[in-house]
Structure 1
């Protein structure tokens, strides 16, 4: 197995994790958590989304949070943006990079964006033009890329059509999201290989959910196909509010630990990440989903118990 020697992991809990919680987190609490995460060594963080406050109330404080955090050199701050108004707010908040919201299927797109997939892409045109006037980088996404809860499998031809449209818009960095955890390693490899064969100049990343316990296996499948950029969420928090049973992202600490055990370097301080994960677990015990918080690191040894006394011995 030939794997990359290094990967880049983007922390998305401040956006994907917090938006899935039923209760709002006060802005000052978000700022504390984001500041702690920035010290862990993540090269990129998705800190918020500039959606309408009524659509996702947990993100209504986007500008306040961005204005309050301690920005760290070398950490790219990313935000999800659905429309031109959201883009203007992102630009005013000095976001480094925005990610456009797009669904692979019309059914999910109509529920998520009130437009079909191609109609949603047409609406990207003014956003791309406006972003060119600023220093904000625009990236794309394909949600439910490995399976839609309403339509099932997503044909490769559908992905190719979406990528063609992204190419026409001048967008070559695309996040492939397993929004509802329907992916498996064979499918991940097939989709990535097929798309990259047609669009070798594109840079793809993986955004994996652990809904059915397949996320790390899917991450390894992505590694085998040359993917070096991954999203994860500390504590395993997360879930799309517009997809049924879309439980959390793969936990950052699980992904980091797994890659490092395989000899794939992340450049991230795992102990510091676990400290934040434990902090979040104390606050939101019902929503934390992390193997490392349960079992600890595999190299963390414990004192041997000594000789076992057999049952029945005198």
Structure 2
């Protein structure tokens, strides 16, 4: 079994992980979380989103958070920009990368952003063009690539179509996301194969939710295909709003534990990553969502 020698993780905890939290998280806490993640060796961090505070009040402090970060020259700081207005608002914060998103499910697209898949792509076209004209890297998030809360199982042909549309507007990298965590290895591999018809293996990442406990299995199945980039979330931050009571993003600590166990380099200090997870979990007043993080933290505390 030939696996990648090195894996790049994008920690989406500060943005994707915190955006659905009911309790307000102060900018100072978000900034400290980003600092702890980069001190642990993370080179790619999804920091915030430039979306209307009316829709996502948790991200209303986006400019303050970006301004407060002690930037490191080798770290990529990305932000979600849902439209041209959001992109223009982000420019003063000098993001290294912007993220746009689209769904492989027509019903999800309508429910989530009130427009069709085709309309969402056209909405992002000027955003992508403006970003690339300024030398800002563009990553696309492809949601519901294996399952949808409204349509059920998603055919690989739908994923291929979305990947083709994203490529067509100039998106440089796409994340294949199992948004509700229903995917199993074979279904995830089919979604990745569909995406590979339009993007090279170096321009694809996996984004897996752990609702059914399959995220690590899906990560391994992706590694076996040569995928070497993944989105993860420290302490497993991020619920799954479309699957009640379900867990959300796979925990960064669990993925790093898996990768290190496979002899794959990440450049991440697992102990420091666990501390970052404990920091934000303590603030939120709940246990970390990372099994490896919890086990190793408890082991450390008892020794």
Q: TM-score range by the shorter chain?
A: over 0.9
Aligned counterpart, 2:288: 288
Shift of 1:286: 3.6
Q: Is the 8 A contact 2:102 2:162 kept in 1?
A: no
Q: Please, what TM-score do these two structures have when normalized by structure 1?
A: 0.90
User: Which is worse superposed, 77-86 or 163-172?
Assistant: 163-172
Q: Are 2:96 and 1:96 aligned?
A: yes
Residue 69 of structure 2 aligns with which residue?
69
Q: Distance in 1 between matches of 2:84 and 2:160?
A: 26
Q: In the alignment, is residue 194 of structure 1 matched against residue 157 of structure 2?
A: no
Corresponding position of 1:206: 206
2-side partners of 1:114 and 1:276: how far apart? 36
**1:201 & 1:32 partners in 2: Cα distance?**
35
- Residue in 1 aligned with 2:254? 254
Whole-angstrom distance in 2 between the partners of 1:207 and 1:265: 19
Aligned length: 301
Closer, same or farther: CA 164–194 of 1 in aligned 2, 3 Å: closer
Structure holding more helix per residue:
2
Summarize deviations over 1:276-295 as a string: whole Å, max 9, x none. Answer: 11122222244631102332
* DSSP 3-state at the match of 1:101: strand
SS at match of 1:74: coil
Does the 8 Å contact 1:180/1:247 carry over to 2? no
Match in the other structure for 2:133: 133
Tell me the CA shift for residue 248 of structure 1. Answer: 2.0
Distance 2:137 2:160 in 1: 23
Q: Cα distance 1:44–1:65, how it changes in 2: closer, same or farther (>3 A)?
A: same
CA distance in 1 between partners of 2:222 and 2:105 (Å): 22
User: Structure 1 CA distance, aligned partners of 2:140 and 2:275?
Assistant: 32
Name 1:79's counterpart in structure 2.
Answer: 79
Q: Give the TM-score of the pair, scaled to structure 2.
A: 0.94
Residue in structure 1 matched with residue 243 of structure 2 by the alignment: 244
Task: Report deviation, 1:111.
Answer: 1.5
CA–CA distance in structure 2, aligned partners of residues 194 and 107 of structure 1: 20
SS in 2 for 1:126: helix
1:15, 1:182 → 2: CA distance?
A: 22
For residues 25-48 of structure 1, the C-alpha deviation after alignment (integer angstroms, 9 at most, x for no partner) is: 111121112111111111200001
- State the Cα deviation string for residues 84-121 of structure 1 (Å, max 9, x = none): 01101122210000110211111111121110111100
Aligned residue number for residue 215 of structure 1: 215
Look up the match of 1:11. Answer: 11
Per-residue deviation, 1:20: 2.1
Q: Aligned to 2:148, what secondary structure does the other structure show?
A: coil
Instruction: Please name the residue that 1:36 is paired with.
Output: 36
CA contact (8 A) 2:147 2:180 kept: yes
Q: Structure 1 residues 299, 58: closer, same or farther in 2, change over 3 A?
A: closer
Whether the 8 Å CA contact 1:172–1:201 is kept in 2: the answer is no
The one-character-per-residue Cα deviations of 1:168-224 (angstroms, maximum 9, x if unpaired) are 21223101111110111111112212331x225361101111111111111001101
Distance 1:190 1:67 in 2: 41
Q: 3-state SS of the aligned residue for 1:256?
A: helix
What is aligned with 1:48? Answer: 48
Whether the 8 Å contact between 1:48 and 1:62 is mirrored in structure 2 is yes
SS of aligned partner of 1:275: helix
Gaps of 5+ in 1: 304-314
SS at structure 2 position matched to 1:82? coil
Q: Is the contact between residue 257 and residue 297 of structure 1 (CA under 8 Å) also seen in structure 2?
A: no
Query: Could you list the runs of 5+ residues in structure 2 that have no partner in the other structure?
Result: none
Check 1:298–1:186 CA distance in 2 against 1; reply closer, same or farther (3 A cut): farther
